[in-house]
Amino acid sequence: DTVDTTDTSATTTETTTENTTETTTEMTTTETTTEETTTETTTEETTTEQPKVEEPTIPKSIKILAIGNSFSDDATEHLFGILKDAGVEEVIIGNLYIGGCSIDTHWNNMKNDSAAYEFRYYNNQADRTNTKRSISYALALHEWDYITIQQVSQNSGQPTTLGNLQNALDYINQKKTNENAKIYWHSTWAYQQNSTHSSFPTYGSNQMKMYEAIVNTVNQEAPKVGIKLIIPSGTAVQNA
């Protein structure tokens, strides 16, 4: 018996294929340097030059004479203190007062040189004196800087009641001792809407109607007698 032994040589093919592909991924670091574009927008502030407002010059002395009634009394009640607080060194205020005094009554008192007025007088002192005086006396007492005159409230919106206004103004201009004294019309105010004043029905018992009548009367009559300076108390009260 022949045993045929075939040695199969174990061919160990060690195929060690180390395909080590080192893929070097180049990390491309793209440094994007964003240049911060700083746009300096210089906004030129367009400066519009405003007109210069000059501070009012405070006079050393103010002399005011009011030829009026209860409305002028209201107007001057705190005026002395206001002017003193503003820095005026010498404050002289005279108020020729008769309650409910009209332009016609003023004119009659001028013609008769009647000492019919309570002369409420501040002679640079907070305490006022009250004496019976005439308009001529008061006009001659000082070289007044300002002189005011007014109509009685119920007639303030009635142009036909101002027939003697020119006569009164002529008298003031003749008797005043300061030729540069300025004359003002002191405009009164309308009655409150629920007023029970006997003359309120003249204006339909309507405050706005009375106010408009007062304004229209002043605008119509003041230029006729050469009054250019108005104290708009009525408008101030109406707007309050």
pLDDT for 191: 96
pLDDT for 45: 56
pLDDT for 17: 40
SS3 82: helix
Residues 121 and 93: beta-carbon distance below 8 Å: yes
User: CA-CA distance, 27 to 58, in Å (whole number)?
Assistant: 83
pLDDT for 120: 96
pLDDT for 195: 96
pLDDT for 27: 43
**Residue 188, both tokens:** 């009164």
pLDDT for 54: 77
DSSP 8-class letter at 215: H
pLDDT for 7: 45
How far does CA 40 lie from the centroid of its chain?
A: 43
Task: Tell me the CA distances in angstroms from 143 to 61, 65, 115, 214, one per residue in order.
Answer: 11, 10, 20, 31
pLDDT for 181: 97
Task: Tell me the CA distances in angstroms from 25 to 20, 30, 124, 175, 187, one per residue in order.
Answer: 14, 14, 102, 114, 98
User: CA-CA distance, 220 to 185, in Å (whole number)?
Assistant: 13
Which residue stretches of the chain have pLDDT < 70? 1-48
DSSP 8-class letter at 61: E
Residue with tokens 């009394």: 73
Task: Show Cβ contacts of residue 155 under 8 Å, excluding neighbours closer than 6 positions.
Answer: 102, 103, 161, 162
Task: Tell me the CA distances in angstroms from 153 to 4, 32, 54, 96, one per residue in order.
Answer: 158, 86, 36, 16
Q: What is the pLDDT of residues 160-171, one digit of tens each?
A: 999 999 999 999
